[in-house]
């Protein structure tokens, strides 16, 4: 199968969806020959510039030419994009017409729906309507979008960073905490950092902020916070391996869509955050009722109540939990569905 992958910021650390697209592409079976159609757009770009960004418009036009010239068998759209240009709907509709004419399947991988703004919801509805098959991250999104397309599959989200070393709980430091991910409106970062200062009043603990977001004065204004900006995967892994805890202040809650939680598990960390009902009973988490400063302080204080034996056992459980979200398995599952939808029954590497 010749697959056209369409996404914003393909392979960029500052975009979780772009990172997701790359890690799955690297793990697809050899039967899938992919071409990537992408454009870069930073999250800190102004709203006006995001609306008038034509990067993905050009990407869709290039895909349409590839479809017209019969260079691809299927198109996979990873959405949402960081850019907001509403005319992307027109390009998707044109792609749909060209794809039907040339017997090309359109697959759409939708990562968010409930939390996105009104404009993006409109775009998602059109993408879902004009696509043959939809991939989503959870049952809630599947139920919401099923009115626009009945052929929807649920696939998991892996971590974008993998551990190349065995987890050694003996080397973990109970005073080391990590924050991993972008800092944006979907995170209760301000509440977390205020709680950190209150919790760490004696300056005995260290918080490593591993992010691709630019944060001015973070180390100067807060107690024993290490700002780790755009670290390599190897550097991130080295820090995560020694941290006992990973703070994940993800709004409204942590669920199957969150690759950062999978990263926490892969490195054997105990995760701190507010979890969905499906995850709230996991033994290796500290579940917050809400993201208030007081709730964060209580959770951070509770994290110091674990003894070394408990930390060792829970770290192993976290790693074992992460194995169900390995990129190889998720890529295999997605590839299998795409190939079946194209009636390609005999592939060699799956």
State how many domains the chain has.
2
Check whether 325 has a pLDDT greater than 60.
yes
**pLDDT of res. 345:** 54
Do 49 and 177 sit in the same domain of this protein? no
Q: Which of 94-98, 156-160, 161-165, 283-287 bottoms out in mean pLDDT, i.e. has the lowest?
A: 161-165
Q: How far apart are CA 57 and CA 272, in angstroms?
A: 39
In this prediction, residues 236-259 reach a mean pLDDT of 94
Q: Which of 40-49, 50-59, 100-109, 125-134 bottoms out in mean pLDDT, i.e. has the lowest?
A: 40-49
pTM of the model as a whole = 0.84
Q: What is the band of 256 on the pLDDT scale with cuts at 50, 70, 90?
A: confident
**Helix ranges (DSSP H) in the chain:** 16-25, 47-51, 55-68, 88-101, 118-130, 139-145, 189-199, 218-221, 233-242, 259-266, 293-303, 308-322, 327-341
**Domain encompassing residue 101:** 2-158+326-341
Check whether 344 has a pLDDT greater than 80.
no
**pLDDT of res. 347:** 44
In this prediction, residues 119-136 reach a mean pLDDT of 95
For 206, phi then psi, to 5°, come to -125, 135
In this prediction, residues 166-188 reach a mean pLDDT of 90
Do 25 and 150 sit in the same domain of this protein? yes
Two structure tokens written together for 58:
């050009």
Q: How far apart are CA 350 and CA 195, in angstroms?
A: 48
The answer to whether position 349 is within a domain reads no
pLDDT tens digits along 206-219? 999 999 999 999 99
Task: Please give the residue that has the higher pLDDT: either 223 or 335.
Answer: 335
Q: What is the CATH number of the domain that holds 99?
A: 3.40.50.2000
The answer to whether position 147 is within a domain reads yes
| Three-class secondary structure of residue 35 per DSSP | strand
Q: How far apart are CA 130 and CA 277, in angstroms?
A: 33
pLDDT tens digits along 263-296? 999 999 999 999 999 999 999 999 999 999 999 9
Do 294 and 332 sit in the same domain of this protein? no
Do 174 and 314 sit in the same domain of this protein? yes
Do 123 and 270 sit in the same domain of this protein? no
Cβ within 8 Å of residue 40, ≥6 positions away? 8, 9, 12, 55
Do 27 and 137 sit in the same domain of this protein? yes
Give strand pairing partners of 116: none
Cβ within 8 Å of residue 178, ≥6 positions away? 207, 208, 210, 239, 240, 243, 245, 246, 247, 264, 269
pLDDT tens digits along 43-95? 889 999 999 999 999 999 999 999 999 999 999 999 999 999 989 999 999 99
The answer to whether position 164 is within a domain reads no
Do 68 and 110 sit in the same domain of this protein? yes
Do 132 and 151 contact (CB within 8 A), yes or no? yes
**pLDDT of res. 324:** 87
The answer to whether position 348 is within a domain reads no
Q: What is the band of 115 on the pLDDT scale with cuts at 50, 70, 90?
A: confident
Give strand pairing partners of 89: none
Do 335 and 314 sit in the same domain of this protein? no
Check whether 350 has a pLDDT greater than 70.
no
**pLDDT of res. 348:** 44
Average pLDDT of the residues of the chain: 93
Do 22 and 119 sit in the same domain of this protein? yes
């Amino acid at each position: 199968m010749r697959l056209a992958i369409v996404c914003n910021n393909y392979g960029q650390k500052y975009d979780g969806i772009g990172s997701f697209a790359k890690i799955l592409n690297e793990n697809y079976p050899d039967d899938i020959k992919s071409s990537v159609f992408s454009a870069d757009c930073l999250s800190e770009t102004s709203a006006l510039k995001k609306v008038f960004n034509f990067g993905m418009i050009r990407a869709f036009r290039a895909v349409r030419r590839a479809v017209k010239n019969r260079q691809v068998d299927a198109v996979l759209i990873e959405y949402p994009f960081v850019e907001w240009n509403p005319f992307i709907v027109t390009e998707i509709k044109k792609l749909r017409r060209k794809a039907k004419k040339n017997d090309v399947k359109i697959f759409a991988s939708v990562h968010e729906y409930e939390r996105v703004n009104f404009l993006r919801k409109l775009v998602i509805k059109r993408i879902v309507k004009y696509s043959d098959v939809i991939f989503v991250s959870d049952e809630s999104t599947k139920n919401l979008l099923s009115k626009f397309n009945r052929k929807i599959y649920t696939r998991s989200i892996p971590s974008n960073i993998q551990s190349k070393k065995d987890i050694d709980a003996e080397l973990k430091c109970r005073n080391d905490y990590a924050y991993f991910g972008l800092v944006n409106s979907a995170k209760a970062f301000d509440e977390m950092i205020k709680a950190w200062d209150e919790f760490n009043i004696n300056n005995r603990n260290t918080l490593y902020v591993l992010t691709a977001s630019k944060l001015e004065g973070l180390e100067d204004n807060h107690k024993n916070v290490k700002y780790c900006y755009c670290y390599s995967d190897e550097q991130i892994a080295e820090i995560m391996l020694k941290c006992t805890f990973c703070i994940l202040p993800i709004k409204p809650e942590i669920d199957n869509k969150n690759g950062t939680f999978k990263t926490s598990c892969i490195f054997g960390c105990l995760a701190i955050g507010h979890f969905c009902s499906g995850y709230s009973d996991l033994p290796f988490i500290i579940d917050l009722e809400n993201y208030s400063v007081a709730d964060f302080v209580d959770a951070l204080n509770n994290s110091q109540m674990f003894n070394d034996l408990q930390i060792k056992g829970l770290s192993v459980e976290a790693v074992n939990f992460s194995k169900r979200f390995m990129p190889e398995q998720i890529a295999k599952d997605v590839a299998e569905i795409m190939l079946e939808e194209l009636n390609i029954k005999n592939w060699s590497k799956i």
